[in-house]
């Protein structure tokens, strides 16, 4: 039996031998410049700007063929976690071509890896291709490539829903995809009775998705063939390991062995049936992996965005435990032991991760011990009278309005499961709707108001006091100056990889291989203050995105901005695509003070800085928008 570590390594080695460059996984928190998603959910995400032709893969990686194992987190299936296959945290194996090789080679690679390297039986594989529609023709190239390896009857064509990718948003690169499916039974297919891949039988497992981005869709829905064609593939490591180890569930693979052991040691799940126990175990295992990786990538527990997701999974796992103070640290240790080799950034974060998880556990325990009735009375909220249940001695269930449950959930952190277990009745789907709306509003608020910078502890500037908005605005402009100053002092390899601004301070993550010297720190701080003192004008213009990029504006994402973008220039020192708001002239920033500079993850440095008040930084009559 091949171990998961061997399979992961075999994948990367195979593609290295095929002249691919191995690229480390990027953070679970997407770069500042990609606000289209909250968390990294695919291997291609970190290569987007290469696919779009904004960055040069040859220059940055020395190759246009790339391979990676990317840590990913998907929230879409969060509520399904607990069954046999759904995961939030997982690892994605991928090979990528930035206008290098195309379909035929990608298909040959996939086939060779599966059948020669993994030595999986050929007769179990099926492939799917795009059948064609009004916008793009049937993918005959992919079909022909598969015919070299598979009989015609095991190559099926599907429409847009199954075999088409993108664009993300309303325009951008997109194209047909082709999937490799695996027959879990190995039985001979009875063509009269059995269905092939993409049926609901559970017989076929989608293993590998190959995406061929060869079209560009404009906002009017018109497709044109792209000059540069890319390959983007993704295969869930957990699924491949499951197949390789002959298991029925990803949770039975060796990736989860030690986690299982830790749970069994500390939890008995008394009173639960076998099936319920299994569900609880899976929730705990999945959510603990996610918790560790999110914390290690700098996400903190909160009620907004990534922090909200983190809090939700952590508390949901805690809800399954009777002995959390023992179980959780034991699981954390196993996650670190399993992954520190593959993801070296974990090592430095271990202490902080344990500490934050411990604090959150304490906070949650306190909430769980709160008297909900008292809280509800305080909120003057419980609706209706307790329903009398005849012949029943337990406390009668109480009906709560969705709004009240939402409040308990978001403000006080009660999990919906807990409330149900305590005998409260409410309309779960109505609550879920409120939660979704809340998230939607938050997201829009951020995109509209704040470009792509993370706004810590709250999304919308609308919710904030005038003082806070002004402080955030000053620090936002300071962030742009800092970005450019780092590039001027350290070199053009400096790229923003994260940005987070509170009224109190700004935080800026960027790519740089080593610690800044005292002199460099000094120079960066001085340069920013110099530009503040020059009182440069901050100007906004709306440009065609192409032109803005050609003029050297820092930015990375065309699809987010569409055809035109707002570009902020600070004198002729800095130019960035950004949604604002910014100060009108740089003296309004005040004094820039660089507080600290340290390592955040491998190759990523983190700066914390503040702006101090000066006469010029006084709050203006009208805040910029």
Least Å distance between CB 592 and Zn ion? 16
Least Å distance between CB 498 and Zn ion? 13
Q: What are phi and psi of 515, to 5 degrees?
A: -60, 145
Q: Which residues contact 512 (CB under 8 A, 6 or more apart)?
A: 486, 490, 493, 494, 603, 604, 605
Q: Which of residues 544-583 bind Zn ion (CB under 5 A)?
A: 578
| Cβ-based nearer residue to Zn ion, 232 or 500 | 500
Least Å distance between CB 509 and Zn ion? 14
Q: Which residues contact 384 (CB under 8 A, 6 or more apart)?
A: 398, 399
Q: Which of residues 381-410 bind Zn ion (CB under 5 A)?
A: none
Q: How big is the site for Zn ion, counted in residues (CB under 5 A)?
A: 2
| Cβ-based nearer residue to Zn ion, 304 or 582 | 582
| Cβ-based nearer residue to Zn ion, 255 or 609 | 609
User: Which of the stretches 176-184, 250-258, 282-290, 445-453 binds Zn ion when contact is defined by CB under 5 A?
Assistant: 445-453
| Cβ-based nearer residue to Zn ion, 418 or 453 | 453
**Dist. CA 78–CA 89, nearest whole Å:** 10
| Cβ-based nearer residue to Zn ion, 78 or 577 | 577
Residue sitting closest to Zn ion (CB): 578
| Cβ-based nearer residue to Zn ion, 451 or 498 | 451
The verdict on 461 binding Zn ion (CB under 5 A) reads: no
**Dist. CA 56–CA 52, nearest whole Å:** 10
Strand, helix or coil at 585?
Answer: strand
| Cβ-based nearer residue to Zn ion, 292 or 578 | 578
**Dist. CA 237–CA 160, nearest whole Å:** 25
Binding mask 1-30 for Zn ion (x = CB under 5 A): ------------------------------
Burial of 378 per CB tally in 10 Å (0-12, 13-18, 19+): exposed
Least Å distance between CB 576 and Zn ion? 6
Q: How many residues does the chain have?
A: 625
User: Which of the stretches 153-161, 426-434, 447-455, 597-605 binds Zn ion when contact is defined by CB under 5 A?
Assistant: 447-455
User: Which of the stretches 4-12, 87-95, 245-253, 449-457 binds Zn ion when contact is defined by CB under 5 A?
Assistant: 449-457
| Cβ-based nearer residue to Zn ion, 94 or 451 | 451
**Dist. CA 408–CA 415, nearest whole Å:** 8
- Quick check: 278 and 84 in contact, CB under 8 A? no
| Cβ-based nearer residue to Zn ion, 331 or 501 | 501
DSSP state of 516: P
User: Which of the stretches 50-58, 81-89, 443-451, 527-535 binds Zn ion when contact is defined by CB under 5 A?
Assistant: 443-451
The verdict on 451 binding Zn ion (CB under 5 A) reads: yes
Torsion angle of alpha carbons 36, 40, 46, 49, nearest 10°? Answer: -10
Parallel, antiparallel, or unpaired for β 564-570 and 574-577? antiparallel
**Dist. CA 543–CA 563, nearest whole Å:** 8
User: Which of the stretches 21-29, 172-180, 451-459, 460-468 binds Zn ion when contact is defined by CB under 5 A?
Assistant: 451-459
Token pair for residue 255?
A: 């990736």
Least Å distance between CB 179 and Zn ion? 39
Binding mask 329-358 for Zn ion (x = CB under 5 A): ------------------------------
| Cβ-based nearer residue to Zn ion, 284 or 578 | 578
Least Å distance between CB 499 and Zn ion? 8
Q: Which residues contact 621 (CB under 8 A, 6 or more apart)?
A: none
Least Å distance between CB 464 and Zn ion? 17
- Quick check: 330 and 266 in contact, CB under 8 A? yes
Sheet strands side by side (includes 564-570): 538-544, 564-570, 574-577
Least Å distance between CB 528 and Zn ion? 15
The verdict on 290 binding Zn ion (CB under 5 A) reads: no
Closest to 556 (Cα-Cα) out of 65, 68, 53, 168: 53
| Cβ-based nearer residue to Zn ion, 75 or 499 | 499
**Dist. CA 448–CA 422, nearest whole Å:** 40
Least Å distance between CB 247 and Zn ion? 47
User: Which of the stretches 262-270, 352-360, 415-423, 444-452 binds Zn ion when contact is defined by CB under 5 A?
Assistant: 444-452
Burial of 4 per CB tally in 10 Å (0-12, 13-18, 19+): buried
**Dist. CA 287–CA 41, nearest whole Å:** 16
Burial of 237 per CB tally in 10 Å (0-12, 13-18, 19+): buried
Q: Which of residues 95-154 bind Zn ion (CB under 5 A)?
A: none
| Cβ-based nearer residue to Zn ion, 331 or 472 | 472
> What residue has token string 């008040």?
613
Least Å distance between CB 471 and Zn ion? 15
- Residue numbers at the binding site for Zn ion (CB under 5 A): 451, 578
């Amino acid at each position: 039996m091949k171990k998961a570590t061997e399979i992961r390594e075999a994948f990367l080695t195979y593609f290295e031998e095929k002249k691919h460059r191995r690229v480390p996984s990027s953070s679970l928190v997407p770069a500042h410049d990609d606000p289209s998603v909250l968390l990294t959910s695919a291997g291609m995400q970190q290569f987007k700007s290469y696919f779009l032709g904004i960055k040069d893969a040859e220059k940055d990686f020395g190759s246009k063929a790339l391979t990676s194992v990317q840590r990913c987190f998907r929230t879409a299936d969060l509520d399904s976690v607990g069954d046999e296959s759904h995961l939030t945290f997982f690892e994605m194996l991928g090979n990528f071509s930035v206008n290098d090789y195309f379909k035929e080679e990608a298909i040959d690679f996939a086939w060779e890896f599966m059948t020669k390297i993994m030595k999986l039986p050929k007769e179990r594989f099926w492939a799917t291709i795009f059948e064609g529609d009004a916008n793009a023709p049937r993918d005959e190239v992919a079909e022909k490539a598969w015919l070299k390896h598979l009989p015609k009857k095991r190559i099926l064509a599907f429409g847009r829903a199954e075999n088409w990718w993108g664009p993300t948003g309303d325009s951008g690169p997109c194209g047909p995809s082709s999937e490799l499916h695996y027959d879990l039974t190995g039985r001979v297919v009875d063509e009269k009775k059995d269905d092939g891949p993409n049926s609901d039988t559970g017989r076929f497992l989608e293993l590998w998705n190959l995406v061929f981005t060869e079209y560009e869709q404009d906002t009017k829905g018109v497709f044109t063939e792209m000059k540069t064609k890319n390959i983007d593939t993704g295969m869930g490591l957990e699924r491949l390991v499951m197949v390789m180890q002959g298991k029925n569930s990803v949770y039975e693979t060796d990736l989860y062995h030690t986690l299982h052991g830790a749970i069994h040691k500390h939890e008995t799940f008394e009173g639960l049936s076998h099936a319920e126990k299994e569900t609880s175990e899976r929730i705990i295992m999945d959510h603990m992996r996610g918790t560790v990786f999110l914390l290690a990538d700098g996400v903190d527990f909160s009620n907004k965005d990534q922090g909200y997701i983190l809090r939700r999974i952590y508390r949901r796992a805690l809800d399954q435990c009777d002995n959390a103070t023992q179980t959780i640290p034991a699981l954390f240790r196993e996650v670190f032991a399993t992954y520190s080799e593959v993801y070296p950034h974990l090592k430095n974060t271990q202490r902080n991760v344990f500490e934050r998880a411990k604090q959150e556990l304490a906070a949650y325990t306190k909430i769980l011990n709160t008297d909900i009735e008292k809280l509800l009375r305080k909120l003057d909220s419980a609706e209706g009278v307790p329903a009398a249940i005849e012949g029943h001695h337990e406390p009668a269930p109480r009906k709560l309005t969705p709004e009240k449950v939402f409040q308990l959930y978001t403000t006080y952190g009660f999990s919906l499961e807990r409330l149900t277990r305590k005998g409260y009745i409410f309309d779960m789907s109505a609550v879920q709707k409120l939660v979704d709306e809340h998230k939607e509003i938050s997201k829009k608020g951020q995109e509209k108001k704040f470009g792509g910078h993370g706004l810590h502890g709250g999304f919308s500037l609308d919710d904030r006091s005038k003082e806070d908005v002004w402080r955030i605005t000053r620090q936002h402009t300071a962030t742009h100056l800092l970005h450019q100053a780092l590039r001027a002092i350290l070199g053009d390899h400096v790229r923003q990889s994260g940005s987070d601004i509170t009224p109190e301070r700004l935080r800026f993550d960027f790519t740089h291989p080593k610690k800044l010297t005292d002199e460099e720190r000094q120079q960066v701080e001085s340069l920013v203050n110099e530009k503040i003192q020059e009182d440069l004008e901050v100007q906004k213009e709306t440009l065609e995105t192409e032109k803005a990029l050609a003029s050297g504006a820092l930015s990375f994402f065309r699809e987010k901005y569409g055809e035109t973008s707002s570009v902020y220039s600070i004198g002729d020192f800095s130019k960035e695509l950004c949604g604002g708001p910014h100060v009108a002239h740089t003296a309004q920033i005040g004094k820039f003070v660089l507080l600290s500079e340290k390592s955040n993850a491998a190759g990523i440095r983190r700066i914390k800085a503040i702006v101090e008040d000066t006469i010029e930084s006084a709050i203006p009559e009208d805040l910029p928008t």
